[in-house]
Structure 1
Amino acid sequence: MLSKTAYNIKAKISLLPTRLGGRQNPVATGYRPALAFNTAQHYSGEIELLDQPQLKPGDSGTVFIRLIPAKHIRKNLKSNDAFTLHEGSKAIGSGIIVSAEIVSSE
């Protein structure tokens, strides 16, 4: 059986401005983008905004991300690792991990 790893991540993210190909609408707690950690493979995560009620295109903020369990995710994500936020194949932002905690790894 393949293992499934899940993370709780605190990160600083920045959304691209709409004029540079980013989203047109703001995001709020519960938003579920795909995340890529220096790989072509994307993983699903749910974002909780920590310092504001919504994050508009072009803005930055601190978030908590619950990374949904995945079979092939790295088991060594750590502070200062970079990632990109995607909607489908379109990159809509980027982030840097502040802290990462593995919450399950079977």
Structure 2
Amino acid sequence: MKTTPHFIAQLSYLPTGDGGRQTPARSGYRPHIEFDHIPGKRTTGMQRFIGQEWVEPGQTVEAEITVVSPKFFSGKIQVGDTFTFDEGPRVVGTGVVKEVVDERLMKKN
């Protein structure tokens, strides 16, 4: 069953030598995400890559993101917001919001 994404982002995976993953990530990967402007609020965010099935360490890709706890981000997300994604204590990449799909998350000006 496919769910509607909460937002679309450009994801930049760190190269392995800079602390990134050792192996490629497959579409559907679920790392933790934390927005830079909302510190301390982490959730799992499923990444569905657009136009490809795998991403190698060091690559950049666009993805649909579906978060497990959208209520944490209600009214707080806008285009251009940045975030990190990690595996436990290790940051493996960064992201930038390109489009907010779920209007409940959209920051009100």
Q: Is TM-score (shorter-chain normalized) higher than 0.5?
A: yes
CA distance, structure 2, for counterparts of residue 73 and residue 90 of structure 1 = 22
Greater helix share, structure number: 2
For 2:22, the equivalent position in structure 1 comes to 24
Out of 15, 18, 33, which is 2:31 matched to?
33
What value does the CA root-mean-square deviation take over the aligned residues? 2.0
Q: Partners in 1 of 2:51 and 2:76 — Cα distance?
A: 27
Q: 1:81 is matched with which residue?
A: 81
Structure-2 residue corresponding to 1:96: 96
> Displacement, 1:68?
1.3
**Taking structure 1 as the reference length, what is the TM-score of the superposition?**
0.83
Query: After the TM superposition, which segments of 4 or more aligned residues of structure 1 sit over 6 Å from their partners?
Result: none
Give, in whole Å, the separation in 1 of the partners of 2:19 and 2:40. Answer: 19
- Name the structure where strand makes up a greater proportion of residues: 1
Query: How many aligned residue pairs are there?
Result: 100
1:4 aligned partner: none
**Structure 1 residue ranges without an equivalent (≥5):** 1-6
SS of match in other structure, 1:72: helix
Normalising by structure 2, we get a TM-score of: 0.81
Structure 2: state its 5+ residue gaps.
none
